[in-house]
Structure 1
Amino acid sequence: MTREIVLEQAPDLRRIYATAALRRGSSSETLPDVRYSRAGIRVDVDELVAYAHVCRFSVGSTLPPTYPHLVAFPLQMAVMSSNGFPLPLLGAVHVENRIEVVRPIGLDDPLDVSVWASDLRPHRRGRQVDLVSEVSVRGEVAWRGTSTYLSRGAEHPEAPSSEPPSTAPLERVTAGPVWRLGEGTGRAYASVSGDWNPIHVHALTARPLGFPTAIAHGMYSYARVLASLGPRLPESGLTSRVWFRKPVRLPSTVRLRTAFEQSATLSVLENAKGEVEHAVVENTW
């Protein structure tokens, strides 16, 4: 039977990351049957504006498509740091994300959020798991998100993998925005998201976890892509999916190329020379 843990306030993410260094996960092949939730969350407009500024969203009457992830993220970390969770939190890499915007969420809407873990499975480089989030407004699901995290370990070359769609439609797209992401990009995003994972904060904290430099948050890169597409995307009925291919090392210069079709877009975020794919983003509606 699922154990429901209702929180009155968001977990302290700095504390979670600080204590995560003492926890290495377990060899369990099952996930704890637990669900974390919060009810009646009100969006802080000042915090929303700060997030929109960092990610380049326009502030309107409804939430940006990635903003509900920020509301759910502390509950994700609570699940991943709970007793019995089989993967270590530190060093976990965000490899894929899926968002469904069922209907627009207004700035004044009270949000009920629920998060749980699902589908622990092998990955060719270790093990991966989905953190599923639902955001409801007045009893109606308005937004769903699925974040897939990889923990490197024993390799499973035979494990099935989730591959992005072919980027062949982008071969004729040669122009697009170019962004210079400074060394402090990870800290700027952490300040508005609360995600102070050491791999994003500074090279000195990223190196012990296997990264030569700090790397940009996947959800920051994803948000920048969706913000760039702006009014091309609908406010509801949107299914958006991102595959994080190669980390964006900080500092770095990246470019975005997008192909537009009726009720769909396909984008690739890559390095300035187009030699390295950092993320592939597909939107449909």
Structure 2
Amino acid sequence: MTKEIALEHAPDLPRIYATAVRRRGSSSATLPDVRYSRAGIRVDVDDLVDYARVCGFPVGGALPPTYPHLVAFPLQMAVMSGDGFPLPLLGAVHVENRIEVVRPITLDDRLDVAVWAADLRPHHRGRQVDLVSEVSVRGDVVWRGTSTYLSRGSEHPEATPSEPPSTAPLERVTAGPVWRLGEATGRAYAAVSGDWNPIHVHALTARPLGFPSAIAHGMYTYARVLASLGPKLPESGLISRVWFRKPVRLPSTVRLRSAFEPSSTLSVLESVKSGSGDVEHAVVANTW
């Protein structure tokens, strides 16, 4: 039977990260049957404005499609730091995300959020798990998200990878916005999201976890892409998926290339390194 844990306040993320240093996960092949929830959440206007400024979204109207992830993220961390969770929290890498916007969410809405873990499975570089989030308003689900996290460890070459769609339609697209992501990009996003995972904050905190430099948050680069595509995307009925291919090391310069169809978009985010070709960081597919 699922254990229901209803919280009155958001989990304390600094405390979770501090205690995660001593927690290494386990070899368990099962996930704890637990569901965390919070009810009646109001979006703080100042927090929303800060988020929109960092990620490039306009302010006004419906919430950005990625913003409900921020509301659900503390509950995700509560699940991943809880007793019996098999993967270590620190060093976990966000490898894929899916968002479904059922209908627009406004500042007037009170949000009920629920999060649980699902589908622990092998990855060719370790193990991965889905953190499933649902946001409801007055009993109706208005937003769904699935965040897939990888914990690197024993390799499983037989694991079937999740592959993005072909980027062949983008071969003739040579122009697109170019963004310079500075060394402090991870700290700026952490300040508005609460995601202070050490792999994003500074090279000195990323290196002990296997990264030569800090890497950009996946949800930051994803948000930048959706903000850039904003006028092309509907406010409801949107299904958006991102595959994070290679981490964006900070600092970096990245370019976005996109192709548009009547009810879909396909984008690739890449960095351009002189003399070494383009490095593909993320593929984003939107349908409606």
Name the TM-score class by shorter chain.
over 0.9
Cross-structure match for 1:187: 187
Summarize the alignment of residues 163-182 of structure 1 with structure 2, pairs less than 5 Å apart.
163-182=163-182
In the alignment, structure 1 residue 275 sits paired with structure 2 residue 278: yes
- Deviating more after overlay: 268-277 vs 26-35: 268-277
Instruction: Report the identity percentage.
Output: 86
Aligned partner of 1:189: which letter?
A: Y
Cross-structure match for 1:85: 85
Q: Which secondary structure state, in structure 1, belongs to the residue aligned with residue 16 of structure 2? A: helix
Q: Give the total of aligned pairs.
A: 285
Cross-structure match for 1:197: 197
**Shift in Å at residue 49 of structure 1?**
0.2
**Shift in Å at residue 230 of structure 1?**
1.1
Could you list the per-position Cα deviations for residues 138-187 of structure 1 after superposition, in whole angstroms to 9, with x for gaps in the alignment?
10000000000000111110011100000000000000000000000000
CA distance in 1, matches of 2:65, 2:230: 10
For the aligned residues, what is the CA RMSD? 0.6
Aligned partner of 2:286: which letter?
A: N
Q: Which secondary structure state, in structure 2, belongs to the residue aligned with residue 72 of structure 1? A: helix
Q: Which secondary structure state, in structure 2, belongs to the residue aligned with residue 135 of structure 1? A: strand
**Shift in Å at residue 60 of structure 1?**
1.5
In the alignment, structure 1 residue 139 sits paired with structure 2 residue 142: no
CA distance in 1, matches of 2:216, 2:81: 22
**Shift in Å at residue 272 of structure 1?**
2.4
Q: Which secondary structure state, in structure 2, belongs to the residue aligned with residue 6 of structure 1? A: strand
Q: Which secondary structure state, in structure 1, belongs to the residue aligned with residue 242 of structure 2? A: strand
CA distance in 1, matches of 2:107, 2:284: 26
Cross-structure match for 2:97: 97
Answer yes or no: is the 8 Å Cα contact 1:178–1:272 preserved in 2: no
Q: Which secondary structure state, in structure 2, belongs to the residue aligned with residue 154 of structure 1? A: coil
In the alignment, structure 1 residue 41 sits paired with structure 2 residue 44: no
Q: Which secondary structure state, in structure 2, belongs to the residue aligned with residue 179 of structure 1? A: strand
Answer yes or no: is the 8 Å Cα contact 1:270–1:279 preserved in 2: yes
Structure 1 stretches lacking a partner, 5+ long: none
Q: Which secondary structure state, in structure 2, belongs to the residue aligned with residue 272 of structure 1? A: strand
Structure 2 stretches lacking a partner, 5+ long: none
CA distance in 2, matches of 1:212, 1:160: 28
Answer yes or no: is the 8 Å Cα contact 1:111–1:135 preserved in 2: yes
In the alignment, structure 1 residue 246 sits paired with structure 2 residue 246: yes
Q: Which secondary structure state, in structure 2, belongs to the residue aligned with residue 25 of structure 1? A: coil
Could you list the per-position Cα deviations for residues 101-157 of structure 1 after superposition, in whole angstroms to 9, with x for gaps in the alignment?
000001110000000000000001110000000000110000000000000111110
Cross-structure match for 2:5: 5
Q: Which secondary structure state, in structure 2, belongs to the residue aligned with residue 221 of structure 1? A: helix
CA distance in 2, matches of 1:153, 1:181: 29
Cross-structure match for 1:264: 264
Aligned partner of 2:287: which letter?
A: T
Summarize the alignment of residues 149-160 of structure 1 with structure 2, pairs less than 5 Å apart.
149-160=149-160
Q: Which secondary structure state, in structure 2, belongs to the residue aligned with residue 222 of structure 1? A: helix
CA distance in 2, matches of 1:251, 1:156: 31
What TM-score do you get using the length of structure 1 for normalisation?
A: 0.99
